[in-house]
Structure 1
Amino acid sequence: MTYPTFYDVEQTFETSRIDNIAKAVDTAFASFDSSTVKPEATVGITVGSRGIDRIVPLLHAVVRNLKSIGLRPFIIPSMGSHGGSTAEGQTAILAKLGITEESAGCPIVSSVETVSLGLLDEGAEVFVAKDALEADYVFVMNRVKPHTLFHGEVESGLCKMLAIGLGKPRGADNLHNFPLEKVIKPAALRILEHINLLAGLAVVENAVEKLHTLKLCTSNEVVSTDSSLLSISAAILPRIPVETLDLLIIDEMGKNISGTGMDTNVIGAWRRMAGERKPEYKTLVVLNLTPQSQGNAHGIGMADLIPKRLADSIDPAATYANSLTTGVWASGRMPITLATDKAVIDAALAKAPTTLRAVRITNTLSLQHFWATEAVFSDLKTAGATVHPDKTNTLTFDSTGTLMPFETC
């Protein structure tokens, strides 16, 4: 097999960031009206399973500010059915993120017990964590970004944290039986009618996963905050600036990268659900599952070819639980699995044209630098990406057939 030459490609992204998180949180709270806050009242802080940039100092600053206005904060793990749908599993996920009672500065109260808030007009039953109902206040916190399954006025953000995260396994399972673009917002509004929301903290990350925007909002501003920050997030979301490829090689997928392991906004939502094949990446190869995924390979069904080493790292129970919750069965199906990375790459190249349009990326988040074959140079230059023709790599494998990392350019 003759392997193609790949060239280093660089994209210029929005990389402005918040450097001093504690100061940014303090500034946000400076305009918060605490005059009506009941002293010594409890406040449950929602914390999800996603790895928000510098989540530990961010959360610690929130806890410190809540204490400064006389409240008694505690953390409510708010991650739907993640963590095996158990209280212990969800606490363990927080620990993996570095979030403990010691690091946060407050207790963690983990339970999957919920209360039904009735049916929406769409027929979906809304559930909310009992701990949130019993708290004097709730403080909702989440990252805002485009969703991998649907597009709408609100997507992944504060409303989703309320509806899915605080819904615990029962709420997440139920809402995923309906079109999320139709039920997320009304479910969140229903929950807001029953909890006492102190405030919401929405954050946006830049194209290199660093905190870019932070906004504190009131209960009445939750939807508008989600919507306005979604526009910012969508505008700076990293993408591959090529519409058609014969081959896309992804070194790793994982839950810490995207809820679907690989961001469908990058690889094409049609690979998960029916729809327009845009972008059209004909063959998708994935080589590894991140350790942070803890075996959950939800989204693996979007790949065409994988090596046995990836297949061996998958925990079927965790993967199927996630896929059953979303109701997208294809996300949990196994692609064609071959013995080694080399066997996978060879099979992909055997069906590709001589003039190969190919790209290799580390993952769907790390797109500031990637590698591409000469056939896509024109597309890259049109999109404003910089190609370094003097920085080249080729596909090489170790003695076990594992694809070697490209030399850093």
Structure 2
Amino acid sequence: MEVQPFHDTNGLLREVPLPDLLLLRQRFPRPRIDDVDREVISALKQAAVAEQIQPGQRIAIAVGSRGVAEIATIVRTLVAALRGYGAAPFIVPAMGSHGGATAEGQQEVLHSLGVTEAYVGAPIISSLEVDVLGTLPNGLPVHIDRTANRADGIIVVNRIKPHTDFTAPIESGLSKMLAIGLGKHAGALTIHSWGYSGLMQHLPEVAKFTVNHAPILFGLATVENAYDEVAEIVVVPPAGIGNEQEQTLLERAKAMMPRLPWDELDVLAVDQIGKNISGAGMDPNIMGRLRHGQKDSATRITNITVHDITDESHGNAIGIGHADFTTSHVLHKIDFQSIYINVITAGVIAMESGKIPLVVPTDREAIAAAIRSSGKPDFSQVSLARIENTLRLEYILANKVALEQIRAGSDVEVISSPMPFPLRSDGSLTPFHHDIVLEILKTKI
């Protein structure tokens, strides 16, 4: 049965006015690395990596599916360094069930991130075959990519960041890549079958077990600032994975995360969600929504609208279930096979993420529906904001009501006069991206 979008035959949504918006600019602390190549080489030298590599060794570099800033450059530089040491590096996708849980799909995901054989200078060997390294005391089997396990050494490359679904000393980063990413579909399915305890407790246990039973050389970790830029690049030795060093990097990542400048908001329009933006499509650390409750530090939002899926997601619309309204355009972009594999593999923590919200034909109708159902009978009192995605929060469009409710202490500048809600004649949104921001800045107050 095909999902039928709502049709506004009685004018329920046409009569809802959309407010004028102002362009706001948030400022966050911005430590960043300008020369990523040089920083990678510096980190490798500082950790004396050359002394760990023997000429002729085959070294597997594990690369995930996330939109890690400068990932292709980082991997290319690492490959060149390893070749300089006399090694023979190759790339393995480390992304659990992503890419439709197929070898071809996972290689395609790497390509979409710029990690191609031609660019990084190393072959990509993509397979779903795994070895079982052993079992934890509770009987949980520990899986690892077979090709990587049979190499002379393994290097995992990943960003350290807060997880989208739980809070713990170890969240997203090197441990998760070892336990779930390199565990491929089998490992992801096993750990996620334990629900929240699988992630909060067993994930670091599996990572440490992997460190002790597989040829892990080190992790190359990045920490990003609030502008989706690389702020730190660190070589983490095996003993630091799942332990204090990774925990310390996580705390630094949390301190640099962007935020919305509101405690509460009636309506938030999100231009795009995607796996390259967040593992959850749109980051609950920003949006606040979880299957079980609300992220304490995030904004409480009454209604969320979603208007597109990034091309890099290849139709995986994970996170769409945290929206209240979406459009026919989004619905038709969803690859249900991909999202179902992702959700069913992730289990209880992701079930909400794959549900389909109310569907209307156009962007305008989605936002009008969110306003009408916001619990504010006087539409002029609805606080509303629009963002590009949860990764880019420097620039925000907001109405005057939202402007007046900005959290005390937020570093927010108003940089435009009120302007009509940016819509085309067919009811679709005018894209909210860097070029549009620059155009608005030309008419800055």
What TM-score do you get using the length of structure 2 for normalisation?
0.87
Q: Distance in 2 between matches of 1:45 and 1:105?
A: 12
The partner residue of 1:35 within 51, 57, 64 is: 51
Verify: 1:21 aligned to 2:41, yes or no.
Answer: no
- Tell me which amino acid in the other structure corresponds to 1:236: M
C-alpha distance in 2 between matches for 1:275 and 1:255: 21
Distance 1:343 1:37, change over 3 A: closer
Structure 2 SS opposite 1:248: strand
Q: Does the 8 A contact of 1:114 with 1:167 survive in 2?
A: yes
Shift of 1:122: 4.6
- Which of 24, 42, 49 does residue 65 from structure 2 map onto? 49
Deviation (angstroms), 1:363: 0.8
1:144 counterpart residue number: 160
Aligned to 2:19: 4
Alpha carbon RMSD of aligned pairs, Å? Answer: 1.8
Offset of residue 139 of structure 1: 0.9
Taking the aligned partners of 1:72 and 1:380, their CA distance within structure 2 comes to 53
Amino acid at match of 2:155: F
Query: What CA distance in whole angstroms lies between the structure 2 residues aligned with 1:155 and 1:269?
Result: 17
SS of the residue 1:285 aligns to:
strand
- Tell me, yes or no, if structure 1 residue 114 matches structure 2 residue 130: yes
- Runs in 1 of length 4+ with deviation above 4 angstroms? 275-278
Does the aligned pair in 2 maintain the 1:380–1:387 contact within 8 Å?
no
1:257 aligned partner:
277
> Counterpart in 2 of 1:165?
181
> 1:15 and 1:156 mapped to 2: Cα distance?
21
CA distance in 2, matches of 1:90, 1:153: 29
Structure 2 CA distance for aligned equivalents of residues 93 and 381 of structure 1? 38
Gaps in structure 1 of 5+ consecutive residues: none
Contact 2:261 2:407 in 1 (8 A): no
Q: Which deviations, in whole Å up to 9, do the C-alpha atoms of 1:329-364 show, x marking residues without a partner? A: 221111010111122122222233221111111111
TM-superposed deviation, 1:194: 1.2
Equivalent in the alignment of 2:109? 93
Paired amino acid for 1:56 = A
Contact 2:208 2:241 (C-alpha < 8 Å) held by counterparts: no
Structure-1 separation of matches of 2:245 and 2:147 = 25
Q: Distance in 2 between matches of 1:266 and 1:281?
A: 10
- The residue that corresponds to 1:359 in the other structure is 385
Give the whole-Å Cα distance in 2 for the aligned partners of 1:145 and 1:17. 16
| Contact persistence 2:309–2:333 (CA under 8 A) | yes
The AA in structure 2 aligned to 1:357 is S
For residues 296-316 of structure 1, give each alpha carbon's deviation from its aligned partner in whole angstroms, at most 9, with x where no partner exists. 001111100011111111111
Aligned to 1:203: 222
Question: Any idea what SS the aligned residue of 2:201 has?
Answer: helix
User: Does the 8 Å CA contact 1:261/1:297 hold for their aligned counterparts?
Assistant: yes
Identity %: 36
Aligned residue-pair number: 408
Quick check: 1:144–1:158 contact (8 Å CA) kept in 2? yes
Contact 2:274 2:313 in 1 (8 A): yes
In structure 2, do the counterparts of structure 1 residues 122 and 382 end up closer, same or farther at CA, with 3 Å as the change threshold?
A: farther
Give the distance between the partners of 1:124 and 1:335, measured in 2 at CA. Answer: 35
Q: What SS does the corresponding residue of 1:394 show, helix, strand or coil?
A: coil
Q: Which amino acid aligns with 2:250?
A: L
Give the whole-Å Cα distance in 2 for the aligned partners of 1:324 and 1:132. 26
Residue 378 and residue 121 in structure 1: after superposition, are their counterparts in 2 closer, same or farther (change >3 A)? farther
Change (3 A) 1:395 1:25: same
Work out the CA distance in 2 between the residues paired with 1:376 and 1:30.
Answer: 49
What is the aligned partner in structure 2 of residue 332 from structure 1? 354
Q: 1:349 aligns with which of 358, 371, 392?
A: 371
| 1:115 partner SS | strand
Q: CA 1:317–1:403 in structure 2 vs 1: closer, same or farther (change >3 Å)?
A: same
CA distance in 2, matches of 1:220, 1:145: 19
Map of 1:62 onto structure 2: 78
Counterpart Cα distance in 2 of 1:35 and 1:96: 34
What SS does structure 2 have at the residue aligned with 1:322?
A: helix
SS at match of 1:399: coil
Secondary structure, aligned partner of 2:419: strand
Superposed displacement of residue 82, structure 1: 0.9
Displacement of 1:149: 1.0
How big is the shift at 1:227?
0.9
Aligned to 1:370: 396
The 1:100/1:403 distance shift into structure 2, 3 A limit, reads closer
Using the size of structure 1 for normalisation, the TM-score is 0.95
In the TM superposition, what is the alpha-carbon distance from 1:177 to its structure 2 partner?
A: 1.3
Equivalent position of 1:217 in the other structure: 236
Q: 1:290 aligns with which of 302, 307, 310?
A: 310
Closer, same or farther: CA 206–275 of 1 in aligned 2, 3 Å: closer
| 1:226 and 2:229 are equivalent in the alignment | no
CA drift of 1:397 comes to 3.0
Give the SS at the match of 1:111.
Answer: coil
Task: Find the aligned partners of 1:390 and 1:107 in 2 and give their Cα distance.
Answer: 49
The SS at the match of 1:324 is helix
Q: Name the residue aligned to 1:244.
A: 264
SS at match of 1:173: helix
Alignment of 1:364-403 (within 5 A): 364-380=390-406, 382-388=408-414, 390-403=416-429
Inter-partner Cα distance in structure 2 for 1:394 and 1:375: 15
* Per-residue deviation, residues 317-336 of structure 1 (Å, max 9, x unmatched): 11111111111222111101
Separation in structure 2 between the aligned mates of residue 122 and residue 229 of structure 1, nearest angstrom: 29
Give the match for residue 307 of structure 1. 327
Check the 8 A contact 1:136/1:196 in 2, yes or no.
yes
